[in-house]
């Protein structure tokens, strides 16, 4: 489970910014929250809301980037730069990017922090928190820092037990966990497996479904390949799609090999008045295609009890569809593993179903920097307010200044 994450000098976020899933006893005792093994109460949902170009996507990028950095960074070319940008205005573009995340595995809370530039990881630290006799304790697991004078890292392996030969593989653009994975390091495998379960539609360039990005169609193809190999989740997707798309029954997905290339053929079955017809995928609505892609991330996260980080959650979808997908994470029947959802949306009606601990507001200041805050951080916000009405009226800020 994700407890919180923070960033500084990360894309449009120049100042320190925190997204916190943890709540105190003032949060409602309802299905929107759960108690982790550590005993800490967490929200299942955090919703990022704000005007266009406010920085919502940049805030969502933190977790997908950390997923790549922690688990997969060793896969890039050893001389390649890190796929990340600092705040590009003023002096900060020369300052380090700072990222940190608190996450829980089997009751242990890890704190993983990075300081980096576009060229290299400057420092990296992993700490662990756990409860002993009702008291939370923290200890360092490992730490490394770049020594510019000696042109190498200084490493402090307190309790991570890094394997023999680790320093020979160590790189400036790969995490300690990513390197240790190559040596079958069990603790690194545990952490990496956790992060590889993060489901997202966000990449370094932004929302992967953007029509201006060249990889929109491959995302749909990737989803079709996935469902062709996971029949149980495919059936769940079909059941949910049939609720929203009148007459839709199922997807028939066939893989064909032509001239040493694997192609995929999809026929969508619709039934009306007892008559069944099959239509190629390209004739389905944009909403059906978008929902089909979203459901892959949603269903996998629900099955594994992981987190789904989904930008533009509402694109091409009716507001009632957005609410129904939201409910999949809230209801214990559909979310028995307490999966979490971090999403951005312009479907502001969803505010009527959220608590003040589940809303992140984002806006851009006059210096071009993004600012974000959780709604409960504002003074005078009552639990029984109509957040939708007040947000639309501009009471909380984070609305377009037209």
Q: What is the pLDDT of residues 42-80, one digit of tens each?
A: 999 999 999 999 999 999 999 999 999 999 999 999 999
Helix axis angle for 216-229 and 231-244, nearest 10°, is 120
Cα–Cα distance for residue pair 144/127, rounded to 1 Å: 12
Closest to 387 measured CA to CA, from 54, 57, 49: 49
> How do residues 164-201 score in pLDDT, each as one tens digit?
989 999 999 999 999 999 999 999 999 999 999 999 98
Average pLDDT over residues 306-313: 92
| pLDDT at residue 212, as a whole number | 40
Closest to 108 measured CA to CA, from 127, 138, 129: 129
| pLDDT at residue 205, as a whole number | 55
Q: Is the pLDDT of residue 7 over 50?
A: yes
Q: Is the pLDDT of residue 250 over 90?
A: no
How many beta carbons lie within 10 A of that of residue 334, not counting itself? 15
CA dist list (Å): 115 to 4, 122, 195, 196, 323: 17, 5, 19, 21, 38
Query: Could you give the residue ranges of the DSSP H alpha helices within 53-150?
Result: 56-60, 62-67
Average pLDDT, the chain: 89
Average pLDDT over residues 23-30: 92
Share of the chain above pLDDT 70, in %: 95
> How do residues 279-296 score in pLDDT, each as one tens digit?
888 888 888 888 888 899
Average pLDDT over residues 232-258: 83
Structural domains present in the chain = 1-198+307-402 (3.40.50), 214-305 (no CATH)
Q: How far is CA 277 from the centre of its chain?
A: 37
Q: Is the pTM of this model over 0.75?
A: yes
């Amino acid at each position: 489970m994700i407890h919180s994450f923070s960033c500084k000098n990360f894309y449009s976020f120049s100042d320190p910014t925190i997204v916190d899933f943890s709540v105190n006893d003032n949060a409602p005792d309802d299905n929107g929250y759960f108690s982790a093994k550590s005993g800490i109460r967490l929200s299942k949902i955090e919703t990022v809301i704000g005007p266009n170009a406010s920085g919502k996507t940049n805030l969502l990028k933190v977790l997908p980037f950390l997923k790549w950095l922690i688990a997969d960074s060793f896969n890039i070319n050893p001389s390649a730069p890190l796929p990340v940008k600092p705040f590009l205005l003023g002096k900060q573009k020369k300052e380090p990017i700072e990222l940190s995340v608190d996450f829980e595995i089997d009751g242990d809370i890890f704190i993983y922090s990075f300081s980096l530039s576009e060229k290299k990881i400057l420092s990296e630290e992993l700490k662990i928190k756990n409860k002993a006799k009702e008291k939370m304790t923290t200890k360092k697991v490992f730490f490394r820092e770049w020594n510019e004078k000696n042109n190498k890292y200084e490493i402090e392996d307190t309790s991570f037990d890094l394997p023999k030969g680790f320093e020979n593989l160590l790189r400036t653009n790969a995490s300690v966990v990513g390197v240790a994975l190559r040596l079958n390091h069990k603790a690194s495998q545990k952490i990496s497996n956790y992060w590889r379960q993060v489901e997202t539609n966000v990449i370094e360039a932004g929302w992967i479904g953007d029509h201006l990005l060249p990889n929109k169609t491959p995302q749909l193809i990737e989803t079709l390949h996935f469902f062709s190999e996971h029949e149980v989740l495919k059936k769940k997707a079909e059941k949910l799609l049939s609720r929203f798309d009148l007459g839709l029954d199922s997807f028939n997905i066939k893989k064909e090999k032509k001239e040493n290339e694997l192609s995929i053929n999809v026929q969508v079955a619709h039934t009306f008045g007892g008559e069944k017809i099959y239509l190629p995928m390209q004739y389905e609505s944009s909403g059906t295609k978008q929902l089909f892609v979203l459901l892959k991330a949603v269903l996998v996260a629900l099955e594994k009890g992981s987190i789904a980080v989904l930008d533009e959650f509402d694109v091409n979808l009716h507001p009632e569809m957005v609410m129904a997908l939201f409910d999949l994470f809230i209801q214990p029947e559909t979310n028995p593993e307490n999966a979490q959802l971090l999403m951005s949306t312009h479907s502001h009606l969803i505010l009527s179903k959220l608590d003040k601990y589940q809303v992140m507001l984002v806006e851009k200041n006059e210096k071009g920097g993004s600012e974000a805050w959780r709604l409960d951080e504002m003074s005078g916000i009552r639990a029984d307010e109509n957040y939708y009405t007040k947000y639309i009226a501009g009471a909380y800020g984070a609305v377009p200044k037209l």
